[in-house]
Amino acid sequence: MSKDNFTVTPWDVSGDVNYNKLIKNFGLSKIDDKLLEKIKKQTGELHLFLKRGLFIAHRDLDVVLNSYAKGDSFFLYTGRGPSGNTHIGHLIPWILAKWLQDKYDLELYFQMTDDEKFLFKENLTLEEATGFAYENALDVIALGFDPKKTHIFTNTQYAKTLYPQALRVAKKLTFSTTKAVFGFTNETNTGQIFYTSMQTVPAFLPSVKAGRNIYCLIPHGIDQDPHFRVARDILPKLGYYKPASIQNIFFPGLAKGGKMSASDVNSAIFTTDSKKEVEKKINSAFTGGRETIEKQQKEGGNPDICNIYKYNHFLFEEDDERIEEMRHLCKKGQIRCKDCKKQLVQKINNFLQEHQKKRQLAKAKLSEFILTD
Ligand code: TYM
């Protein structure tokens, strides 16, 4: 753990993340009101995630939007490391990507890094990782992306196209840089050292294909930034634009503090969970409630540390008045945690029921989305 008492790398998030410090450490820009105004002016509205502060940081988003305003469009790139089922936290950057695709009429490149997960997960076989990639792709498709503009690929099955471009990146990337950025050591396997070159490729592949420079915007969780810091350093050396990004904070896990994480099954609600599983998980989630009902009524609860409130705030309660009311009732001790939990179980299960239906239908649509070579 760093001196800040938290760690954020693409493979390890621990401690109590101080986002202001992280933004400073990573050298990111905050998404401010001026930038939000610009987005609103171009799209006609602000997505809930932007209004409620789930996306807080960026690199060069203003540059991409200014160039868009002058008639120069851009493309989207995001991805998933397929090591298991998809949880609700993973959906956050994808939901925003879908909104951006609709609002700005954009192509999306979606990378499934089965190679990464094979290299970084001790007990995962390559076949298992590739299998999860197809499972996870169903979740992506279920969100309603446009098949004509959305291209999903696994690194191993699109390797003939990706590998030559990754080599160009790798030739410019030294071991010393990867050590400094990712903390690699002499014991790190050499696949891991090479890997970031693969994650860089989709940020300029459309420019290679088009034979001209096209701006790239990457919606992603803040943990992935180190990869794109490297990409921004290398790509101008190859004659391409630096990729821009829009970055979200972590969707909370079920326990106190910490993020929703696939490697901790008890922290996460998966898109494949049954109604009963959701109920069980939410009922045992950490809240901002007091030890007894009497104390709760007298002193009120604390929505600021409550996972149930945060889930509503970030994703499940879009109505601004209703979320304010929930906050007020909680602070005044006029609602019990039990009741908030019950309402949230209902909302999550409604969402998952729809999602699971669309996920099922996505199986027949996979071939419209998948790129292989
Ligand atoms: P992965 O599979 O760890 O995560 C997929 C995306 O979900 C984000 N994320 C979260 N966002 C909010 N709350 C959480 N609790 C949470 N947990 C994960 C991640 O930041 C990520 O955006 N190496 C990548 C795969 C990848 C990629 C990309 C991701 C390849 N190319 C381009 C983003 C953009 C990975 O393992 O992601």
**307 and 231: one domain?**
no
Q: Which residue among 19, 75, 80 has the greatest number of ligand 1 atoms within 8 angstroms of its CB, and so is best to mutate?
A: 80
From ligand 1's centre to the CA of 94, what distance in Å? 9
| Cα separation, 142 vs 94, whole angstroms | 11
The residue behind tokens 């990378």 is 111
Asked if residue 240 is part of any domain, the answer here is yes
**97 and 176: one domain?**
yes
| Mean pLDDT (the chain, rounded) | 96
Q: At what angle do helices 159-172 and 225-234 cross, to 10 degrees?
A: 70
> SS3 for 342?
helix
| Cα separation, 149 vs 29, whole angstroms | 29
From ligand 1's centre to the CA of 88, what distance in Å? 11
Confidence band, pLDDT 50/70/90 cuts, at residue 356: very high
The structure tokens listed for 266 are: 């008890």
Confidence band, pLDDT 50/70/90 cuts, at residue 218: very high
Q: Give nearest CA residue, ligand 1 atom 35.
A: 81
| Cα separation, 59 vs 70, whole angstroms | 19
pLDDT digits (tens, 9 = 90+) for 315-342: 999 999 999 999 999 999 999 999 999 9
From ligand 1's centre to the CA of 313, what distance in Å? 21
User: Does the CB atom of residue 341 touch ligand 1 within 6 A?
Assistant: no
* Number of domains into which the chain is organized: 2
**244 and 289: one domain?**
no
Asked if residue 153 is part of any domain, the answer here is yes
| Cα separation, 232 vs 227, whole angstroms | 9
User: Does the CB atom of residue 54 touch ligand 1 within 6 A?
Assistant: no
Domain boundary among 249, 264, 295: 249
pLDDT digits (tens, 9 = 90+) for 234-267: 999 999 999 999 999 999 999 988 899 988 888 8
**90 and 216: one domain?**
yes
User: Does the CB atom of residue 111 touch ligand 1 within 6 A?
Assistant: yes
**244 and 308: one domain?**
no
User: Does the CB atom of residue 79 touch ligand 1 within 6 A?
Assistant: yes
From ligand 1's centre to the CA of 79, what distance in Å? 6
**173 and 53: one domain?**
yes
Asked if residue 266 is part of any domain, the answer here is no
Ligand 1: nearest atom to the Cα of 249? 12
**235 and 297: one domain?**
no
Asked if residue 324 is part of any domain, the answer here is yes
**132 and 243: one domain?**
yes
Q: Give nearest CA residue, ligand 1 atom 6.
A: 90
Asked if residue 292 is part of any domain, the answer here is yes
Domain boundary among 249, 281, 301: 249
How far from chain centre, in Å, is Cα 225? Answer: 11
User: Does the CB atom of residue 224 touch ligand 1 within 6 A?
Assistant: yes
Residue 288 CA neighbour count, 13 Å, CB half: 22
Question: CA dist 358 to 47, 139, 254, 354, Å?
Answer: 22, 8, 25, 6
From ligand 1's centre to the CA of 224, what distance in Å? 7
User: Does the CB atom of residue 78 touch ligand 1 within 6 A?
Assistant: yes
Asked if residue 256 is part of any domain, the answer here is no
From ligand 1's centre to the CA of 356, what distance in Å? 21
DSSP letter for 83, please.
Answer: S
**162 and 244: one domain?**
yes
User: Does the CB atom of residue 251 touch ligand 1 within 6 A?
Assistant: yes
From ligand 1's centre to the CA of 323, what distance in Å? 27
Share of the chain above pLDDT 90, in %: 95
User: Does the CB atom of residue 152 touch ligand 1 within 6 A?
Assistant: no
> 273-303: b or e for each residue (b if 16 or more CB lie within 10 Å)?
beeeebbebbeebbbbbbeeeeebeeebbeb
Q: At what angle do helices 225-234 and 19-26 cross, to 10 degrees?
A: 20
The residue behind tokens 């609002």 is 103
With 80 as the cut, is the pLDDT of residue 3 above it? no
Asked if residue 26 is part of any domain, the answer here is yes
From ligand 1's centre to the CA of 225, what distance in Å? 10
Residue 295 belongs to a domain with what CATH number? 1.10.240.10
**13 and 136: one domain?**
yes
Residue 83 CA neighbour count, 13 Å, CB half: 18
Domain range enclosing 71: 6-249
Alpha-carbon torsion 63, 313, 81, 210, what sign?
negative
**103 and 70: one domain?**
yes
The structure tokens listed for 31 are: 């998404």
User: Does the CB atom of residue 154 touch ligand 1 within 6 A?
Assistant: no
Asked if residue 179 is part of any domain, the answer here is yes
Domain boundary among 191, 218, 249: 249
Ligand 1: nearest atom to the Cα of 136? 2
Ligand 1: nearest atom to the Cα of 117? 36
Nearest to 89 by CA among 223, 244, 287, 280: 223
pLDDT of residue 172: 98
**62 and 117: one domain?**
yes
**At 248, phi and psi to the nearest 5?**
-100, 150
Q: Give nearest CA residue, ligand 1 atom 18.
A: 90
pLDDT of residue 2: 53
Nearest to 239 by CA among 221, 218, 256, 214: 214
Q: Give nearest CA residue, ligand 1 atom 16.
A: 89
* pTM exceeds 0.75, yes or no: yes
Residue 96 belongs to a domain with what CATH number? 3.40.50.620
